[in-house]
Homo-oligomer: A and B are copies of this chain.
Amino acid sequence: MMDASNGSANFEEINSFFDSAPSLKDGEAIKRKVEEFLEGRANRVVCVTSGGTTVPLEQRCVRYIDNFSSGHRGAASTEYFLKAGYAVVFLYRRGTCQPYCRSLPDDPLLECFEVTNGSNVTVNPIHAKTVEGAIIDNHLAVTRGTLLKLPFTTIFEYLQILQLIALSMRSLGPSALFYLAAAVSDFYVPWESMTVHKIQSSSGPLDMRLAQVPKMLSVLRKDWAPLAFCISFKLETDTKILVDKANMALKKYNMDMVVANELLTRKEEVIVVTKGGNVIVQRDKTESGADVEDPLIKLIVDTHSSYITSKQIV
């Protein structure tokens, strides 16, 4: 079987994607932030990606295609990685769920605070513990320098920043971990073929042809950070094809692990697919509020430990 991801075609596609992408705003400042965050770090570092990427349909963008993702998985996983002693680069979609904020309502400022005696603003006692926990834990992670947050919106920004992080983390060798939970667009409109102005609605149905986004996993694996431990995610709505698709991704992109999840049950269980076999990871149903990310990150941390040891022996 011809595998485009291993041939030169894929690298040409990737080069052409980056060459034609709009240039990253504040690229130099982001690069500096990442380098400062990683400077002198000997311990393990994980790059957690989270939330969906957008695909603009017009250069002066009014419409775009989006991938549904609350960012809950990435935020929860970040908390457990921090707890396990990792430093975390959290590459997240603007507006999605933040670490330590998972239990807060949608609009915490308006929903958690109340006005007493006419003009005293206090936190509602029901939410007090959650609100204080969120603020304190986030504050600690940021001030201790173990959490760096970087936002993205479009597929272009996401892949440009991911490349920049990966090239900086390359020097960490096997201590670097990529946990690619973001919902990345499969299809996009190349910038140079995109209409400049808003598409007009007066002329009947709209026909669109979207190009495939080149798969960056292979270039991350081969070029950007070849020694890093790499975990990608596979989300499907059809359980019948889920594990097969995850296995294909594992082989095609030479991942160390693929986390397979199904849209409706993704908060209850995931299937961890590796070359050594598959493991079903479930949340602890006997404990209220327990989530699937807790046992998942434990499993990943152990597997990453073995990986680091194996690379040192070699």
With CB as the reference atom, state the residue of chain B lying closest to A240: B197
Q: Does A263 contact B (CB under 8 A)?
A: yes
Q: Does A223 contact B (CB under 8 A)?
A: no
Q: Does A135 contact B (CB under 8 A)?
A: yes
Contacts of A205 in B (CB 8 A): 187, 209-212
- The CA of A61 and the CA of B68, in the complex, are separated in Å by 7
- The CA of A175 and the CA of B70, in the complex, are separated in Å by 40
- Copies of this protein chain in the complex: 2
- The CA of A19 and the CA of B183, in the complex, are separated in Å by 32
Q: Does A201 contact B (CB under 8 A)?
A: yes
Could you tell me if B94 and A115 are in contact, using CB atoms closer than 8 angstroms? no
With CB as the reference atom, state the residue of chain B lying closest to A59: B237
With CB as the reference atom, state the residue of chain B lying closest to A119: B136
Picked from B110, B112, B136, B211, the residue with its CB within 8 Å of the CB of A115 is B136
- The CA of A20 and the CA of B235, in the complex, are separated in Å by 27
Contacts of A196 in B (CB 8 A): 237
Contacts of A63 in B (CB 8 A): 65-68, 185
Which residue, of A119, A136, A199, has the highest number of chain B Cβ atoms within 10 A? A136
With CB as the reference atom, state the residue of chain B lying closest to A114: B139
A36 → chain B closest CB, angstroms: 21
Picked from B66, B98, B101, B132, the residue with its CB within 8 Å of the CB of A65 is B66
Interface mask (A55-78 → B, CB under 8 Å = 1, otherwise 0): 001101111111110000000000
Could you tell me if B101 and A95 are in contact, using CB atoms closer than 8 angstroms? no
Contacts of A27 in B (CB 8 A): none
A238 → chain B closest CB, angstroms: 5
Q: Does A314 contact B (CB under 8 A)?
A: no
Picked from B68, B109, B139, B201, the residue with its CB within 8 Å of the CB of A134 is B109
Could you tell me if B121 and A238 are in contact, using CB atoms closer than 8 angstroms? no
A218 → chain B closest CB, angstroms: 15
With CB as the reference atom, state the residue of chain B lying closest to A62: B68
Q: Does A49 contact B (CB under 8 A)?
A: no
Q: Does A220 contact B (CB under 8 A)?
A: no
Could you tell me if A121 and B135 are in contact, using CB atoms closer than 8 angstroms? yes
Which residues of A approach B to under 8 Å, CB–CB?
54, 57-58, 60-68, 94-95, 98, 101, 104, 106-110, 112-115, 119, 121, 131-132, 134-136, 138-140, 183, 185-187, 196-199, 201, 204-212, 235-238, 263-264
Interface pairs (15), CB distance under 8 Å: A58-B237, A60-B264, A62-B67, A63-B66, A66-B66, A95-B106, A109-B112, A121-B131, A121-B132, A187-B201, A197-B236, A198-B236, A198-B237, A205-B210, A206-B210
- A-B pairs, top 8 by smallest CB distance, nearest first, are A186-B201, A60-B237, A206-B210, A115-B139, A197-B238, A208-B208, A187-B206, A197-B237
